[in-house]
Structure 1
């Protein structure tokens, strides 16, 4: 049973790699957009922070699920 918990927690943390790629994608798009239109930098930065927060929330949910699998079940 302990091995199944470790495998389940490992599978849950795979989402953290996806979140890291998503955060990198958000900020690389921000840099590209600001380079094309610097006058919209403040508005674009607000959208980038929103995208970062939503992507980070998914990572925190995945981490929470991994800890629940390890320590509760």
Structure 2
């Protein structure tokens, strides 16, 4: 009789913990689904990088680096320079020499 009470108690605790985890991460399962309307849309990196690099002295190099960063981060800071606070991922990427990768 004691074993069945322990089993029922552990089963109830397990169910409670599962419910608690699901409440903590409500969109975890829907994010993996196909039809998620809350998922961020992919930006057009070509247009965003063309705007970012339009005043660059080396536009081809700027567009290539910007395109790589945009593809990984799915964002490009506004304007032609600076404004890195609006896209933290873009600002944190560095080259092998620890220089900023993204223009």
Is this a same-fold pair by TM over 0.5?
no
User: Which structure has greater helix proportion?
Assistant: 1
* Larger gyration radius, structure 1 or structure 2: 2
Please state which band the TM-score falls in when normalised by the shorter chain: 0.3 to 0.5
By relative contact order (CA 8 Å, sep 6+), the higher-ranking structure is 1
